[in-house]
């Protein structure tokens, strides 16, 4: 026998959660964009191309490890953050798309759609793991 979810839970899980994810993802995306735009010229002056590549690769590895830990322990929140980030990337890509011939922007928009699906999947799996049995 299946128990129906209360309306408040449905509202929070499927409407307010993704809206919060959009806001947080947008703020994170904008913050990282500003940080990257500020630090990139200084980093290029300090390091040669191999140094930038090495430092960038190490930073991505560390960031990936932190995100893996976050996903493993807070999968529902990770899914929401993934959805928000994907929507922020999509917004940014749509703003840059000038014509149908700009394939790179359209590929980025499609990739953002894929990230939304992954985020929803992670959110749903995390929600199911948290549900009482």
Residues of the chain with pLDDT under 50: 1-2
CA dihedral 119, 75, 35, 62 (to 10 degrees): -120
pLDDT score for 69: 92
Q: How does 73-94 read in b/e, with b if 16+ C-beta sit within 10 Å?
A: eebbbbbbbbbbbbbbbbbbbe
pLDDT score for 127: 84
Widest pairwise Cα distance in the chain: 65
pLDDT score for 61: 93
Euclidean distance between CA atoms 78 and 126, whole angstroms: 9
Euclidean distance between CA atoms 59 and 53, whole angstroms: 10
Euclidean distance between CA atoms 131 and 43, whole angstroms: 46
pLDDT score for 10: 62
**pLDDT by residue (tens digit) across 82-106?**
888 888 888 777 777 766 566 777 7
Whole-structure pTM value: 0.63
Please state the separation of Cα 111 from the chain's center in Å: 11
- Per domain, the residue ranges of the chain are 7-130
């Amino acid at each position: 026998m299946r128990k129906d979810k209360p309306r408040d839970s449905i509202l929070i899980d499927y409407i307010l959660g993704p809206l919060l994810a959009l806001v947080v993802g947008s703020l994170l995306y904008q913050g990282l964009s500003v940080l990257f735009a500020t630090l990139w010229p200084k980093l290029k002056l300090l390091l040669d191309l191999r140094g930038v590549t090495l430092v960038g690769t190490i930073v991505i590895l560390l960031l990936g490890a932190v995100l893996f830990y976050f996903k493993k322990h807070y999968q529902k929140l990770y899914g929401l953050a993934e959805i928000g980030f994907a929507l922020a990337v999509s917004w940014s890509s749509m703003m840059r798309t000038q014509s149908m011939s700009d394939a790179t922007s359209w590929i980025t928009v499609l990739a953002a759609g894929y990230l939304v699906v992954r985020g929803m999947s992670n959110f749903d799996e995390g929600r199911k793991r948290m549900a009482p049995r």
